[in-house]
Amino acid sequence: MKIVCSTLFLVLFASASFAQSVLRWQQIVGNISVNSPVAGIPSGGAPWTTTAGTASVNLSTGAATFQVQGLVLNGTNASGTPGPVQNVVGTLVCNAGTTAQTIFNTPMVPLSAQGDAQFSGSLGNLTASCATPVFLSRAGSGAAAPWIATGAVHTTSAS
């Protein structure tokens, strides 16, 4: 009986661990604050807005998708356009704000004149633990690339 209970406990524990393998953000929203770093990543120099967007990351496989629509400046002389930004990168931050923080970036994808971009591919091998996950859309690539939009309404589910 002890063996059966122990085995059942391990199966249930393993199932719970695998059940949290897909991260989803039901919205992508523009950055409205010009001095608001996230996980050490600087924010853009002007407010941004979006009309729609979603993102998902499968922690088990590394598969990632995001799409954003209407990612445009909200203010400045380029208001209502992406301004000088022609490409964006999707960034997953795992364990944001901790010493175990890890950052994963998609390749750069084009941002249309209407502020639309999409990506479907892989982030590679991801960390086993992704507590406090954050999804960012960043202008350009590299460590200094500012974030201009973020995932909102985060959910976690089984793959």
Q: 40-68, pLDDT tens digit by residue?
A: 999 999 999 999 999 999 999 999 999 99
pLDDT band at 159 (very low <50, low <70, confident <90, very high): low
Distance CA 4, CA 105 (A): 43
pTM: 0.85
Q: Average pLDDT in the 70-93 region? A: 96
Question: Does residue 90 register a pLDDT over 50?
Answer: yes
| pLDDT at residue 13 greater than cutoff 50 | no
Nearest to 48 by CA among 66, 39, 36: 36
Straight-line distance from the first to the last Cα atom of the chain, in angstroms, rounded to the nearest whole number = 32
Q: Domain residue spans in the chain? A: 21-157
- The residue with tokens 């002890």 is 2
Tell me the per-residue pLDDT of 91-102, one tens digit each, with 9 for 90 and over.
Answer: 999 999 999 999
pLDDT at position 104, please?
A: 96
